[in-house]
Amino acid sequence: MSEAQRQTRIIYQAFCEIASNGKDFIRPGDVIELLRSRDHPLGIWHVSGEFARLKALRLISLDEDTGLWQLVPNQDFDEAATKVNGNWEALA
């Protein structure tokens, strides 16, 4: 697994955890706050970039009217990652 893919997985796992705690709409700041509480601080630009990558993987979706993100149900990170055939950097 590449470093870029590992970072995307970390963001996705945090996103899923927030969603599983009952939050339907998620902002990058929610993920930043969770990761910061775990001594894994990331900046807004990094997390926003990973959200764009997760959207390209069809794992999360953006409500363009509100600017809020949602988890796409019944998706698997590993399956989505396999579909890009190692071309991870092209997703950013």
User: Where in the sequence is the domain holding 52, given as residue range(s)?
Assistant: 3-81
Number of domains in the chain: 1
In a domain, 57, yes or no: yes
- Residue 57 sits in a domain whose CATH number is 1.10.10.10
In a domain, 37, yes or no: yes
In a domain, 88, yes or no: no
Per-residue CA distances from 30 to 13, 20, 89 (Å): 13, 13, 24
In a domain, 66, yes or no: yes
Per-residue CA distances from 40 to 23, 36, 43, 58, 65 (Å): 21, 5, 10, 25, 30
In a domain, 77, yes or no: yes
In a domain, 89, yes or no: no
In a domain, 46, yes or no: yes
Q: How far apart are CA 92 and CA 85, in angstroms?
A: 15
Determine if the pTM surpasses 0.85: yes
Q: For the chain (length 92 residues), average pLDDT per consecutive 10?
A: 88 97 95 96 95 96 96 93 74 64
In a domain, 91, yes or no: no
- pLDDT value at position 89? 67
| Nearest CA among 87, 20, 91 for reference residue 57 | 91
